A and B are shown apart, each in its own frame.
Chain A
């Protein structure tokens, strides 16, 4: 595939494995890193990417995943600080062009905006969806 990207995903939990399976299926080269080998069971049988067992806060592990060749990095572990550290290292040390970190704590999100690290906060996203749902209920009742 011509437009295939090299994508590195940190964390192979529910989010990481979902991303890995879908991106691999549409033809991208995917590498998944997780310290816990058993999480690779979340990958579907047709996942054609690579698996790296290791702690992504260690540079040696990121080098093993050939991070410097990556077009995209997703930091999707369950620990905010791991995601924030790996995202910064990817952007500023390995010069990865597109870096996205999941951060649960909305207050941390603001700080990392300042550092130029793009973050997705599931808490804020979910809150927004709930509020939209409330708004549409009120709109349905005609008292919006």
Chain B
């Protein structure tokens, strides 16, 4: 796979390290001459010094044959234009832009460019995971409108030993699977929840916190 990354700093460095380690062919575009020299020494990747939103530079970097273009500069306007040029002039099949302003993630999608916001991702991770060590897995599905969460029930849980039908679960939430001694059970109302159970919950972002509190109780 041929990956072209436009950006700078740590984001560029670690993305490049990650992708080269996987054996991808990586090409970097960066505006700063000294940073380019440093990157070229550190990686086997091809490094092009210049403005990634300039079609000449993209061409020089071989955008024509790239499988994916990632635009992760600190400027949203540059990331948008880089991705649009890649699609329109170089027929790159997949592009992805960093939206520094989280509101721009949605805007870019409307303009036909796939986008992500690190603020969004980190923010929701922190909100949903903070101080809840019982959560071992969390997966947003359906563009983040639904959460699939895996938790481990411990002794202190307020629902430990209770039957499912006696648990007062908020609207639009579901205990999908209980894994006990490595055996998955799709529970019914008469099933009890025990300490050590791994429980897979389906929640919505609106009731996620409340549902978790039901299963884990108030914790510091």
Q: Could you tell me which A residues sit within 8 Å of B by CB distance?
A: 57-60, 79-82, 84-86, 88-89, 92-93, 105, 107-108, 111, 114-115
Contact = CB atoms under 8 A, between A and B. Distances in A.
Contacts of B110: 92-93
A81 B89 contact: no
22 contacts: A57-B75, A57-B101, A57-B104, A58-B101, A58-B104, A59-B101, A59-B107, A79-B77, A80-B81, A82-B77, A84-B77, A85-B76, A85-B81, A88-B111, A89-B107, A93-B107, A107-B54, A108-B55, A111-B84, A111-B88, A115-B84, A115-B88
Q: Is the interface of A mostly helix, strand, loop or mixed?
A: helix
A105 B101 contact: no
A6 B87 CA distance: 34
Given A59-B101, A81-B81, A107 B88 contact: no
B81 A58 contact: no
Given A59-B107, A89-B111, A111-B89, A81 B77 contact: yes
B60 interface: no
Most chain B beta-carbon neighbours within 10 Å: one of A57, A79, A81: A81
A4 B104 CA distance: 31
B53 interface: yes
B205 to A, nearest CB: 21
Interface string B36-72: 0000000000000000011110000000000000000
Contact of B77 (A57, A59, A93): A57
